[in-house]
Amino acid sequence: MSALAYLSSARYGKDAVRVFRVVREGSAHTVVEYNVKVLLEGNIDISYTKADNSVIVATDSIKNITYYLAKVSPHILVPERFAVHLGTHIVSKYAHIHKAFVDVEQLRWSRIVVGKDGKPQPHPHSFFRDGEEKRTVKVQIDGTAGKDKIQAHVSAGINDLLVLKSTGSSFTSFIRDEYTLLKEVDDRIFSTSVDLNYTFAPINISPPRDEKKLDIVIPALDQAKSGSVWDSTVLDRARTITLEVFAEDESASVQATLYKMAEKLIAENADIQTVSYALPNKHYIPVDMSYMGLDNLTPAKAEVFQPVAAPSGFITATVSRK
């Protein structure tokens, strides 16, 4: 044992577990695709300090547990519920594991709409990748106080939601000094790739009721409190709020629009405690055509733009419930 060093924290697990699940209800199928990461904490110090592997749940076993729960869990179609189920099972099953951190990234699959008898209808088992936007969930299952006093800390959101408006955005009255070259504009393109994360109030999880530690109590979808972690409509509501505020706000700045989004999201979801946005600017610069006698720089006449990837502004904030 070193007199100069000690193990102050340790966490390990399995990353990038790719899961695709088909739920079959007769001829109608529903699909989900997840990227899952599971990390564990607990009485695992000796695996680091004494090369003693007797306390390690192998990361390959963690992968297998993930696939097993993907098969048997009734909560597989809702990533918040699935992540809570997976983390609670692991913490409950292994006496020396006190915390599980489960991250789920869901890829978008939407039903293909086909014309049938002149009426467009969603196809029962055919899908298309509906953009690069991802649904995200982060769950911490904490059994530190005891296996009968498990708490879940849940956050969720969206990554890579690319949006653009061609007007309805300005940027004026900012600090001007010897470093300022940027011109004030009362009309500009506003585009960003939205990353949104919102956190719920912690919830208590009842211990599993069966020997295999699989049967946990989660409210039925139609009995979930509105705006709570169990409410499967929160994500759609958050996405709609984000898009509507972005579209309709006469934006004085990215900062001001961000705050309006977050404020409304808290107001409409009772158990959300904090809302965080990260909004990198996607710049579109009007092309100077004055050399050809064309005005493409006056905001009202700017029609041809050059997309510029970098450097770019990056605006973030967290808004919290009082």
Active site residue 14: yes
Distance (Å, whole) CA 121 – CA 115: 6
Bridge partners for 197 per DSSP: 157, 276
Question: CA 61, 66, 71, 75 torsion: positive or negative?
Answer: positive
| Burial (0-12, 13-18, 19+ Cβ within 10 Å), 307 | exposed
Count CB neighbours of 201 within 10 A.
13
Q: For tokens 């898009």, name the residue.
A: 243
Which CA distances in Å does 71 have to 22, 85, 153, 159, 208?
Answer: 9, 12, 24, 26, 18
> Both tokens of residue 45?
């110090």
Q: How many CB atoms lie within 10 A of CB 101?
A: 19
The answer to whether the CB of 204 falls within 8 A of the CB of 151 is: yes
Catalytic residue among 30, 49, 59, 274: 59
- Residue found under tokens 């079959």: 24
d(CA 300, CA 298) in angstroms, rounded, equals 6
Exactly one of 14, 63, 138, 264 is catalytic; name it.
14
**Residue 309, CA distances (Å) to 17, 197, 280, 283, 313 in order:** 31, 24, 10, 7, 10
Q: Give the E-state strand segments of 171-301 in sequence order.
A: 190-200, 203-205, 272-280, 283-286
Token duo for residue 246: 């972005």
Q: Which token pair is 76?
A: 């597989």
Of 29, 93, 134, 283, the active-site residue reads 283
Residues with Cβ within 8 Å of residue 284, at least 6 apart in sequence: 189, 191, 305, 306, 307, 308
- Strand 150-165 with 119-142, pairing: antiparallel
Among all residues, which ones are annotated catalytic? 14, 59, 283
